[in-house]
Amino acid sequence: MHEIDQVRIDFHEGDLLALNFLLAFIMFGVALDLHLQDFRNILKAPGAALVGMASEYLLLPLLSLALVFVFRPPVSLGLGMMLIATCPGGNVSNFMVHLARGNTALSVSLTSVSTLAAVLITPLSFAFWSGFVPGSEEVFREVSVNPWKMVKSITILILIPVGLGMWFQGRFPDLTRRIKRGISRLSMLLFLGFIFIALYKNLGKMAEHLHWVFWIVAIHNGLSLLTGYTFARLFRLSEADARAIAIETGIQNTGLGLVLVFNFFSGLGGMAMILAWWGVWHLLSGFVLAWGWSRR
């Protein structure tokens, strides 16, 4: 195994508890923008949504696996790439799509479905795709990952706060309109702050491996955005739909991924580094892309 595969990120029980609460807070904020109508919209016009889901849950894992075979990164980085590919869409994607003049309604619908579907799709999809990563059997000999325990964990971390958030915005619509943007911004700042603190505390362990992570994430994320857009256009979807699907494919819920790394992989360094840096990078790439599209 490569040296980076032996690195474990120092993460105490209090840190993990804080990360779990932070993810729950993020998902509560996401749910303030979710409505039952979002799911009805998919049933009324499923075509674009099906293309978006296929892009996110089929093409993205295939692309990620192809990059693993091309780059041959250390196994922990490869597993991090596959975990990213099986996480649901990120909580800032809807705002990015709006900024990009894409189909915001489609983006919200895709976020809604992928967030709830993640309870089953993320653990089962990761269990399937990770088996193709060269060397993964060595990691799984040391770290036992039960997909059904992962389902239970994601159910608690996603379904409960999402359910509370949807109940809250249905019960207090006026208050929700006033606070939801602030909650979204606060959750993003808290998450970024958490990542920077975790990276800083472990900088000595990670410094010599950062070049791997930087280029892998930049290429992986860039191709994810391009794949989503190209796939949508191949199905002759509108420009607005293609922009939404591109952003939904390239913006992932890295908070959930990090929680899974520390809960089930003992803070495996390469996986944590990929998830943490993607959490920073996809904000930069997504907003730059959205800004560019907004001017066209």
d(CA 248, CA 237): 15
Residue with tokens 């889901």: 53
> What is residue 288's predicted lDDT score, i.e. its pLDDT?
93
> pTM here?
0.85
> What is residue 60's predicted lDDT score, i.e. its pLDDT?
96
Domain 3-294 adopts which CATH fold? Na+/H+ antiporter like fold (1.20.1530)
CB atoms within 10 A of CB 192: 13
> What is residue 68's predicted lDDT score, i.e. its pLDDT?
95
d(CA 50, CA 235): 11
Tens of pLDDT along the chain (296 residues)? 566 656 556 656 666 777 778 878 888 887 887 777 767 777 777 888 999 999 999 999 999 999 999 999 888 899 999 999 999 887 788 888 988 989 888 888 888 888 888 888 998 999 899 989 998 887 776 666 667 777 887 888 888 888 898 899 888 989 988 898 888 788 878 877 877 777 676 666 666 667 778 899 999 999 999 999 999 999 999 999 999 999 999 999 888 888 888 888 876 778 888 888 898 899 899 999 999 998 87
> What is residue 245's predicted lDDT score, i.e. its pLDDT?
96
The structural domains of the chain, with segments of one domain joined by +, span 3-294
> What is residue 25's predicted lDDT score, i.e. its pLDDT?
85
